[in-house]
Amino acid sequence: MQDLFLKRWFRWVIGVLAFVAMFAMASYQRRTGPTWPVSIDESLAGSTISGELIRTQAGDEDARVALEIAAADIEGEVVWRRYPTQDEWDRIVMVREQVNGASELVAYLPLQPIAAKLEYSVRLWRARDELTLPHSETAVIRFRDEVPAWVLIPHIVVMFLTLWIVFRAALGALFGEMGVRRYIPSILGFLIFGGFFLGPLVQKYAFDAWWTGWPFGGDWTDNKTLAALIAWLIAWWICKKWPQVQRVAVLLATVVMIVVYLIPHSIRGSELDWEEVDAQTTASTGG
């Protein structure tokens, strides 16, 4: 099997397979995280209803919740409250807007502080008959500041380039390639740059915090990046001390990396503590 790595076409095949694995993981990360919108595409009471319940809002504007509904006699409202709290539900009546020739029912959730979350749902009715969306479960939206493209795009590219090198090293190890430990310095370099330099920059712009993982907090995105770094540092140490087991070390570190990426991105991320906010408000008003 080792002789195959002397052939350029086989190295190309391994590289393409690593890219496919990376792309599949990127797609999984994009669609499973808590910021991915709830898609609505249904036929309800003889009318087509489509749109998204957004779950993230960047910038300094209210969050626009919109559903495209052709039937003019369908009305709606958005009910919302702070999350996670037991506040009373507030209501916002949805209004009609024409967007690119399409008729939409629209409501605007009020702008919140960074890292604040609201839970909301859409209720529709025709005359006195309430209509229930099949996807009418509560959506949770988190507010953040804008992250400049010059920080966000390189962060994403570098993190998935790291994953491509990881898959390339793992496939090499599986097919018996010699010297797979040579990939580890590149993996560590890209992981440190993407996860521990650009990552904190993204966090700072979005939530005004450099690092919210261990030992300062429980942010899973930060913690899983730290776990990946530790796994590859251990693999690097094993390869230097016992080079005869370098393929095993690379495969074990890859398993840790895959587990890390299978955890949805942004889960258990920065979240405003409403109890703390209420306590500060009470103290400032002398209540």
- Topology of domain 38-144, per CATH? Immunoglobulin-like (2.60.40)
Q: How confident is the prediction along the chain (287 residues), in pLDDT tens digits per residue?
A: 666 666 777 888 999 999 999 999 988 888 887 888 988 888 776 778 889 999 999 999 999 999 998 888 888 999 999 999 999 999 999 999 988 888 999 999 999 999 999 999 998 888 766 766 655 568 999 999 999 999 999 999 999 999 999 999 999 999 988 899 999 999 999 999 999 999 999 999 999 888 888 777 777 788 899 999 999 999 999 999 999 999 999 999 999 999 888 887 766 677 888 988 888 877 776 65
Report H helices in the chain: 8-32, 149-174, 184-193, 199-207, 220-241, 246-262, 274-285
> Cα(63)–Cα(75) distance, rounded to whole angstroms?
19
pLDDT in the model for residue 236: 97
Give the residue from 77, 81, 67, 82 showing the smallest Cα distance to 122: 77
pLDDT in the model for residue 181: 95
> Cα(120)–Cα(112) distance, rounded to whole angstroms?
14
Question: What's the full length of the chain, in residues?
Answer: 287
Paired strand residues for 105:
67, 96
pLDDT in the model for residue 169: 96
> Cα(110)–Cα(57) distance, rounded to whole angstroms?
11
> Cα(38)–Cα(139) distance, rounded to whole angstroms?
7
* Cα 133 off chain centre by: 25
pLDDT in the model for residue 5: 66
Question: What does the domain layout of the chain look like in residue ranges?
Answer: 2-32+147-275, 38-144
